[in-house]
Amino acid sequence: MKTNINLACADSKGRLYEYPHLAAVGRTGEIIKPLTKKELVPLPAGSSLTMLPRRAALGVDKQGQLRSARGLPYVKGPLYAVAALLPMGYARTYLPAAKGSPGAAPLPLFGYTAVCFCEGELYAAAMRVEPDNTTWDPQRYNTPELKERVLNICSRSPENRILEHLAVCALEYGCFTAQNIFYRRWEGGVPVSPACNARCLGCISKQVSQCCPSPQERISFIPSVREIVDIAVPHLAEAEDGIISFGQGCEGEPTLMADLLMRAVSTVRNQTDCGVININTNGSRPDVIQRLARAGLNSIRVSLISPLPAIFNAYVRPRAYSLKQLKETLHVAMEEGLTVSLNYLIFPGVSDREEEVEAMVEFLCRQPVHLVQLRNLNIDPDVYLKSIPLRRGRLLGIRGLCARLKAEFPHMILGSFTHYQ
């Protein structure tokens, strides 16, 4: 019996509709393909749907021809494409298929995923890459008591500028690592650096490229050691599975604040040996990582868009460093006994090309890590594809990428969250 997989679309007010005249399709790179049931999962809890303004929803008719949704008798005005924004723990396998109108503004920096109706229920083109993890369950965040917790902790340290900044991140941006500081649990973010030595196309805190609107504001000051320590010590000492992380989405590159971090980490470790101190970094300064490891750093997560220099350089646009330093950082981190994760920003039609997959396998053979975290790249798909040099090649699919990495590195964890040793 044939499964009905129909197009999802929305009107100008964002109201969702099933379009029964066209079958749903997904996009991988520049290729558009009909979606099948095996490529779909029920829309995960914690997902959100977004209308793509000035972008027509595409599907295929009964003759297999690609068409735009042209309207429904009970809907006024045009119909637009819809995308799902997935919670952590899921990797998208297809992008939404949409046709932009001339002059359509770039989309905000989110991870747009193909979504459709399957037998009347909403499904997304995605795969689960992490088992159930209540630590990052969206239902554990944005709770009714959050505002009171924020006010309570901020009132104890009214001069702490980091806490003031995190209060905005927690309450306005809904940042989970910022909220954990106020919930006093799990992984809490401590931003420290207003500066960066990269100009990433999809930077979520400061748009040097002006490609797309940033969803949040970067920290605008350099904190003191005292401000860092006053947050880090009680969190590590009191929080359940306490983790302090430098290198948040609302800051630049933390290793540029090397002396500040050295003093802060040493001071924290002189006051408590509890919990995990982690850094999220672009991997540009291996010497700093070695110094921090010897001062008390426990864990590192290095972000990577591609192991291929041409794509890496086109997206990251690094200043005074290259993939060479990133590789050295991973080597140093392993040598120093840190828990080492690779934050791999994946994109259907790019990350799953055969050339990219083979390069990734070679990369991990030379620079082994404990964990590869698959994260959906947050960017307008058209902006990204127009900005990188991409040769045509066979696509293995995101599922094929994951299968290859699991086969080549059976002892390496492939997931979405950091697993600390």
One domain, residues 57 and 155: no
Q: Determine the Cα–Cα distance for residues 308 and 363; give it in Å rounded to an integer.
A: 9
What angle, 0 to 180 degrees and rounded to 10, lies between the N-to-C axes of helices 176-183 and 161-171?
A: 120
Q: Determine the Cα–Cα distance for residues 92 and 398; give it in Å rounded to an integer.
A: 8
Q: What is the DSSP string of 233-247?
A: HHHHHHSEEEEEEE-
Distances (CA, A) of 150 to 20, 153, 168, 189: 47, 6, 10, 14
Q: What is the pLDDT of residue 124?
A: 98
State the total domains in the chain. 2
One domain, residues 19 and 159: no
- Is 20 contained in some domain? yes
Torsion of CA 95, 96, 102, 108, to 10 degrees: -70
For the cut 90, the answer to whether the pLDDT of residue 377 exceeds it is yes
One domain, residues 143 and 169: yes
One domain, residues 163 and 118: no
Residues 188, 245 contacting (CB under 8 angstroms): yes
- Is 235 contained in some domain? yes
Q: Which of 228, 224, 229, 218 lies closest to 253 in space, CA to CA?
A: 218
- Is 421 contained in some domain? no
Which residue is listed with tokens 């990204």? 384
Q: What is the pLDDT of residue 209?
A: 47
- Is 41 contained in some domain? yes
For the cut 80, the answer to whether the pLDDT of residue 418 exceeds it is no
For the cut 60, the answer to whether the pLDDT of residue 248 exceeds it is yes
One domain, residues 78 and 187: no
Element of type H or E holding 324: helix 323-335
For the cut 60, the answer to whether the pLDDT of residue 214 exceeds it is no
Q: Determine the Cα–Cα distance for residues 394 and 299; give it in Å rounded to an integer.
A: 36
Which residue range is the domain that position 143 belongs to? Answer: 134-415
Report pLDDT digits (tens) over 185-204: 999 999 999 999 999 998 87
One domain, residues 69 and 186: no
Q: Does pTM top 0.75 for this prediction?
A: yes
- Is 420 contained in some domain? no
